[in-house]
Amino acid sequence: MNNIRGKLNAVMLPIICSAVLIGLTDMKVSAQKSSSHLFKTDAKAEISLKTDRLDIKLDSETGKRQAILSGNVKASQGPLLLHSDKAIIENQRGQVGNINVRGNVMIVSDNGQQANGDWANYEIGKKYKVKVEKITDYGCFCSLEPGLSTLLHSSEISWTKKNISPKKMFNVGDQIECVITEIDKEKRRVAISHRLTKENPFEQFEKKYPIGTVVEGEVVNKNEYSLFVKIEDLDVDAFLHCNDLTYFNNGEEELSKYKKGDKIKVKVLEIKTSEQKIRVGLRQTQTDPFDWFKDKSKNQTITVKVISTDNKGLIVRPEGCEMDFQIRKAAIAINAADARPSRWTGGEKLDCAIADLDLDKRKVTLSIKLLEEIEKKEALEKYGSEGSGKNLPFSSLSEDLKKKEEKN
């Protein structure tokens, strides 16, 4: 073991001495029985450092120096003794920077009081007060006690504010509650969560508003294809896709009608608590126009009203239904010459047949041509084939004419 006293290195001695002095002077630590003590030492007293290994790194470009003490590190000054597995002391241009002491950290005073920098005194699932020491874009570095620090990742700050900056939530020095979620004794790491100190709002939502419930919400955000709706008193945002806005119009066009602050009533369609997702729909709170077809069948004749026409065909609305459908130009008549949308101007009523009906896929196809084909087939079945002339009115007349010719 290297025993470092007095002169160590012309460059690193001031760094190490200053670091240990800072580490041992006026340091607040926690005893094993959760009581806190303020340990003080004589700043002028000699500092003694012992370690199994000492590495010194120098960055010529930045001027940053780093002393790495590893293996049974011991630092003493006056009545205080610090033990740890590793200590990293940084210095840049004569100024002591970060000091990181890790691995079985323990501070002992001459009266036997001590603070263990280990996770042995902590339990998974319990709440503890931590102090915010440093804030970054990706989270907060927090300490449970001197020598015991860990990262509170931004994803564990809030249940609902996923992309919020930690700087908007906390300040350095804040005392906040966190739950220990994981302890890795081998790697000497601990994971903490602030959001777990509060009840999961998505579980609250599921209890209060089960699937099928109609609730009021406020539009808080929107993108190209969806709205985000805040549900009443709970701080959760539900997802509303444009396809669930209306039965009648194009979803993306309908989306443009809504803005932030709009109040709407929606129906809860899906809740994924584990994924923290809630899906709601607006059209599901309205009568589904496809319900009109529930008692209808393929090839059935219905009456429709012509709403408008264009060169592609007719836009029609079945009597008693609130939804419009298109009859394509090719489905207007058997005779191509009669398949002209311009034959109608709008407002007329006509009969057509249901060519295709799939309620699951919400698909309905209407055809006037199909109705003509059905009527023609029924006529042929009733009066016989066109070739035989059976039961047709002109059949008996032709037979009479033939008999007269034979007599003559």
* pLDDT tens by residue, 3-23: 443 333 333 333 344 443 333
**Are the beta carbons of 110 and 37 closer than 8 angstroms?**
no
**Are the beta carbons of 133 and 145 closer than 8 angstroms?**
no
What's residue 149's pLDDT? 81
Question: Token digits for 246?
Answer: 């209306």
The segment with the largest mean pLDDT, out of 90-94, 98-102, 254-258, is: 254-258
What's residue 37's pLDDT? 34
Inter-CA distances, 335 with 288, 305, 373, Å: 36, 22, 11
Looking at the domain covering 210-285, what would its CATH class be?
mainly beta
Mean pLDDT, residues 380-392: 61
Mean pLDDT, residues 286-303: 91
Mean pLDDT, residues 194-210: 89
Inter-CA distances, 27 with 36, 58, 79, 155, 255, Å: 11, 29, 13, 31, 59
Summarised one tens digit per residue, pLDDT across range 101-131 is 777 666 654 443 344 455 667 889 999 999 9
Say whether domain 120-197 belongs to CATH 3.20.20.70: no
User: What is the Cα–Cα distance from 236 to 206, expressed in whole angstroms?
Assistant: 11
Q: What confidence tier does 397 reach under pLDDT thresholds 50, 70, 90? A: very low
Q: What is the CATH number of domain 289-383?
A: 2.40.50.140
Q: What confidence tier does 163 reach under pLDDT thresholds 50, 70, 90? A: confident
**Are the beta carbons of 309 and 326 closer than 8 angstroms?**
no
User: What is the Cα–Cα distance from 26 to 40, expressed in whole angstroms?
Assistant: 5
Inter-CA distances, 11 with 7, 59, 90, 311, 351, Å: 10, 13, 12, 89, 99
Q: Which of 177, 186, 192, 174 is nearest to 123 (CA)?
A: 192
Identify the residue with better confidence: 273 or 79. Answer: 273
What's residue 23's pLDDT? 38
Average pLDDT, the chain: 78
User: What is the Cα–Cα distance from 313 to 325, expressed in whole angstroms?
Assistant: 10
Tell me, what amino acid is at 159?
A: W
**E strand or H helix that includes residue 237:** strand 237-241
Q: Please report where in the chains the tokens 């066109």 appear, as a residue.
A: 386
Q: Which of 345, 215, 318 is nearest to 267 (CA)?
A: 215
Mean pLDDT, residues 142-159: 85
Question: Token digits for 175?
Answer: 């005392």
**Are the beta carbons of 55 and 3 closer than 8 angstroms?**
no
On whether the pTM is more than 0.75, the answer is no
**271-280, 303-312, 341-350, 381-390: the lowest-pLDDT one:** 381-390
Residue 5 has a CB neighbour count (10 Å cut-off) of: 10
Q: Which of 323, 165, 156 is nearest to 247 (CA)?
A: 323
**81-85, 252-256, 343-347, 382-386: the lowest-pLDDT one:** 382-386
What's residue 38's pLDDT? 35
HSE of 232, CA atoms in CB hemisphere, 13 A: 11
Q: How far is CA 191 from the centre of its chain?
A: 22
What's residue 26's pLDDT? 32
What's residue 306's pLDDT? 96
Tell me, what amino acid is at 351?
A: D
Identify the residue with better confidence: 54 or 392. Answer: 54
What's residue 95's pLDDT? 63
**Are the beta carbons of 104 and 117 closer than 8 angstroms?**
yes
What's residue 1's pLDDT? 46
**Are the beta carbons of 196 and 176 closer than 8 angstroms?**
no
Mean pLDDT, residues 333-342: 90
What are the phi and psi torsion angles at 367 (to 5°)? -150, 130
